[in-house]
A and B are shown apart, each in its own frame.
Chain A
Amino acid sequence: MLEIKDIEHLATLARIKLSDAEKAKFQKEIEPILGYVAKLKEITSVTGEEKQAGEHRNITRPDADVTETGTNTKKIVAGFPEHDGDYLKVKKIL
C-alpha cells in the first residue's frame, strides 16, 4: 500500500512539486494500477525463446559532413527561457 509519504518521496525523485490534493488523488489512483500490473507475478517460470542475434546493435556513421559550429545556434538560443547572448542563463547552482 502506497502511503502519502511514498508519493512525496517519488515526486521528489521525479522533481515534481505536488499539491496535497494531488498527492491524495495519486495515492488513490495509482494503487489499483499497481494492483493490475502486479498480475505479471502469476508468471513464475518464463520460458521465452532465446533472443535472436542482432536484435540490439549499435548504429554508427562516418565522421563526415559534420555540421559546422553555429549552424543551429540561433534557432536553439531562440528557445531558451533566458539567455545572455548565446549563453543559456540559469540560477546559480552552488
Chain B
Amino acid sequence: MAIDLKHLTIEKAHDALAKGEYSAVDLAKAYLDEIKKKDGEIHAYLEVFSDVIEQAKHADEIIKSGKAALLTGIPLAVKDNILIEGKVASSASKILEHYRAAYDATVIKKLKQDGAVFLGRTNMDEFAMGGSTENSAYGPTKNPHDTTRVPGGSSGGSAAAVAAGLALAALGSDTGGSIREPASFCGIVGLKPTYGAVSRYGVMAMGSSLDQIGPFGNTVADTEILFNAIKGQDAMDGTSMDFPEKKPKSKMKIGVPRDLLTIGGIDEAVLKTFNESLEKLRKLGHEIVDIVLPNVKYSLAVYYIIVPAEVSSNMARFDGMRYGTRVPGANGIEEYFLSREAGLGAEVKRRIIIGTYVLSSGYYDAYYNKANTVRDIIRDDYRKAFEKVDVIATPTAPSVAFKLGEKLSDPLAMYLEDIFTVPMNLAGVPAISVPAGFKEIDGKKLPIGIQFIANHGGERTLFALGRNFLGEK
C-alpha cells in the first residue's frame, strides 16, 4: 500500500503500525524507495544500510508481541559520527573511510532497545567541523529546497534527509549550531539539548566541552519523542545527568537581546521574519521584553579559540596507528605525518593548526585562558537573564541557505554563520530551531528558522513554546 510519507509523523506511524495498517517492513521499504528516487541528487546519505529490512522485521515482531514503544519500527537517519556496532562510522573523513564501530553509542543502544530502524548514516562536515556539509570528504549534500544551495552543517545530511522525506526523523550533533543551523536552512525542527542531557558515549569528540547529540524532526512533537528516547544519565559519560522535569508555563516571558540584532550582516528577510514571529508570539499571549546580554557579542571569538584548542587535542588520536587509514612511511613518526596529511581535510588541518597555536607556550594565557574566563562571564549573562525571562528568542542563522561554494574560500565568513548558535554551547543551555518563514529567491522558497533558548534542563519549555508557535496540538 502507498503510505503518505509527506504528512507522516512518528505518532501517526506508530498508530498505523500498532493497528496493522502497514508493517514496519512496508514503512522501511517506502523510505528506501524514496531514497532511491531522490538521494542521487540530494546526497544526504553516505551509506544506506543493507540490513534495513531485517531491522524492520525485528520491529514487526516487537509490534506483534504488543510491546511496541513510540519509536518501534520508525525509520531514522544517523549522523556519520555516531557509532553503530559493526557499521562503518567515518565522520565523513578519509582517515576513517573503512573504520567499523566496535560498540554502540549509548543513544544507539537506547534506540535499538526501542526497536527503531536505522536507514543509514548521513553526510556531514568532516568531524563535524563546518556549517555547510561542504567539508565532507565524500562531496556535499544539497538543500532539498534548492539543490544549488547548501543544507547547512555540520549535520547537513541528517537535516536534508528529514526535510526531503528520506527519513522520518534523525540524529545529529551540535557543537556550535550543527543541528540548529541546518534545521533552519532545511525548514525543519532541530534541538541542541542541555549540555549533559544526552550521553555522548559513542559520538566522536570534536569540542568536548560543547558537543551534544540531538534530534531532528518535521514537527516539534517528533523532535520531543526522539529526545525523550535518548536523554538521561549514563555511566559511560561523566558529564551526563538527569535534569528534573519542569512543567512549562502556558504564558511565557520571552526575552529578545536587541543589541545582538544590530551587529550588521543579518539578512533583512531574516529580521523581518523574526519580528513577525515575535508579533505572533505576542498574539498567542506571551510577553515579549527586551533584554541585554552584554558579553554575548564575544561568543564567536571565544568559540573559535576553545574549539580549535579542543580539536587539536581530540584529533591527536587519528594518527593511523590503532585504527583508520595508515600511510606507510620510513618510520613510525613519519607515518603519523603522512597518515594525517592524506587522511584529514583542509578545515580539520586548519583548526588543528590554530588550536596548536593558541595552546602553545607564550600564547596560552592570551588566548585559551582568556577565552575560558570570558566564557564564564557569558554563562553569567544567561544565568542573570533567566532570572527574569523564561525563554530567549533570536534568529537561528543570519541568512538563508547560501549557494554551494559561496563561502568555501573564506573560512571566517563561514564561521560568522554561527553567530546566533554558539553562545548556547558556551553556556550549556538548550536551544531549538523551528521553521518561522521563507525568503523567496529565483522562485525557490528558502526556509528561515527562529531559535528559542531556555535555561539548563528547560527542554520541555522549548517544546511547549515550539508547539504553540507552530500550532501543533
Contact = CB atoms under 8 A, between A and B. Distances in A.
Co-assembled chains A and B: yes
Interface of A: 2, 7, 10-11, 13-18, 22, 25-26, 29-30, 32-34, 36-41, 43, 46-49, 51, 59, 61, 72, 75-76, 78-82, 88, 90-93
Contacts of A14: 312, 340, 352-353, 355-356
A37 B352 CA distance: 16
Given A17-B337, A40-B298, A43-B298, A81 B324 contact: yes
B325 A16 contact: no
A10 B357 contact: yes
A71 to B, nearest CB: 11
B167 to A, nearest CB: 27
A46 B373 contact: yes
A76 B85 CA distance: 11
Nearest to A12: B337
Nearest to A25: B346
B267 interface: no
Interface in B299-321: 300-302, 304-305, 312, 316, 319-321
A15 B319 contact: yes
A73 to B, nearest CB: 10
Given A26-B353, A93-B332, A16 B102 contact: no
Contacts of B367: 37, 40
B1 interface: no
A39 B376 contact: no
Contacts of B323: 79-81
A49 B472 CA distance: 40
B352 A39 contact: no
B460 interface: no
Nearest to A88: B322
Contact of B320 (A33, A75, A81): A81
Highest count of chain B CB atoms <10 Å: which of A15, A32, A38, A80: A15
17 contacts: A10-B353, A10-B357, A14-B356, A17-B341, A22-B346, A22-B349, A33-B304, A36-B300, A37-B301, A39-B301, A43-B370, A48-B377, A51-B376, A75-B102, A79-B100, A81-B322, A91-B332
Nearest to B301: A37
A65 to B, nearest CB: 10
B353 A76 contact: no
A59 B353 CA distance: 32
A37 B332 contact: no
A40 B353 contact: no
B356 A29 contact: no
Nearest to B300: A36
Given A22-B349, A61-B235, A47 B302 contact: no
Contacts of B324: 79, 81
Contacts of A80: 322-323
B341 A40 contact: no
Contacts of A47: 377
B65 interface: no
Contacts of B333: 15
Nearest to A93: B332
Interface in B30-75: none
A13 B360 contact: yes
A20 B99 CA distance: 30
B304 A36 contact: yes
A54 B413 CA distance: 38
A37 B132 CA distance: 22
B329 interface: yes
A16 B100 contact: no
A33 B412 contact: yes
Contacts of B238: 59
Contacts of B235: 61
B344 to A, nearest CB: 7
Contacts of A46: 373-374, 377
B354 A34 contact: yes
B12 interface: no
Given A36-B300, A51-B376, 19 more contacts: A15-B316, A16-B344, A18-B341, A30-B354, A33-B412, A37-B301, A37-B358, A39-B298, A40-B370, A43-B298, A48-B376, A49-B383, A75-B102, A76-B102, A79-B102, A80-B322, A81-B323, A91-B331, A92-B331
B439 interface: no
Contact of B340 (A16, A34, A43, A75): A16
A62 to B, nearest CB: 10
A14 to B, nearest CB: 5
B336 interface: yes
Nearest to B359: A13
A36 B175 CA distance: 20
Given A49-B380, A79-B99, A79-B322, A30 B353 contact: yes
A35 B415 CA distance: 13
Contacts of A32: 412
B287 to A, nearest CB: 27
Contact of A36 (B102, B331, B336, B412): B412
A15 B349 CA distance: 10
A76 B322 CA distance: 9
